[in-house]
Amino acid sequence: MYKSKKVIVVMPAYNAEKTLFKTYHEVLDQEFVDQVIIVDDSSSDKTVEIASKLSSAIVITHEVNKGYGANQKTCYQAALDEGGDIIIMLHPDYQYTPKLIPAMVSLIGNELYQCVLGSRILGGHAHKNGMPLWRYVSNRFLTFFENILMGAKLSEYHTGYRAFSRELLNNLNIEKNSDDFIFDNQILAQILWHEYNIAEISCPARYMPESSSISFFNSVKYGFGCIATSISFRLAKMRLIKNSRF
Per residue in 111-123, pLDDT (tens digit) is: 999 999 999 999 8
Dihedral angle at the C-alpha atoms of 91, 175, 114, 234, nearest 10 degrees? 110
* Coil, helix or strand at residue 119: strand
CA distance 112 to 206: 28
CATH architecture designation of domain 7-132+155-212 = Alpha-Beta Complex (3.90)
Q: Which helix (H) or strand (E) holds 133?
A: helix 133-150
CA distance 23 to 97: 8
Does 212 have pLDDT greater than 70? no
Q: Identify whether the C-beta of residue 205 lies closer than 8 Å to the C-beta of residue 120.
A: yes
φ, ψ for residue 150, nearest 5 deg: -105, 5
Q: What is the pTM of this model?
A: 0.94
Q: What band does 205 get if pLDDT is binned at 50, 70 and 90?
A: confident
Does 143 have pLDDT greater than 90? yes
- Give pLDDT, residue 213: 61
Which residues, including other chains, have CB under 8 Å from residue 154's CB and lie 6 or more apart? Answer: 117, 119, 143, 146, 147, 188, 198, 200
Q: What band does 210 get if pLDDT is binned at 50, 70 and 90?
A: low
Per-residue pLDDT, averaged over 185-194, amounts to: 98
Does 211 have pLDDT greater than 90? no
Q: Identify whether the C-beta of residue 233 lies closer than 8 Å to the C-beta of residue 161.
A: no
Give the tens place of pLDDT for each residue, 159-169: 999 999 999 99
Domain layout of the chain by residue ranges = 7-132+155-212
Does 48 have pLDDT greater than 90? yes
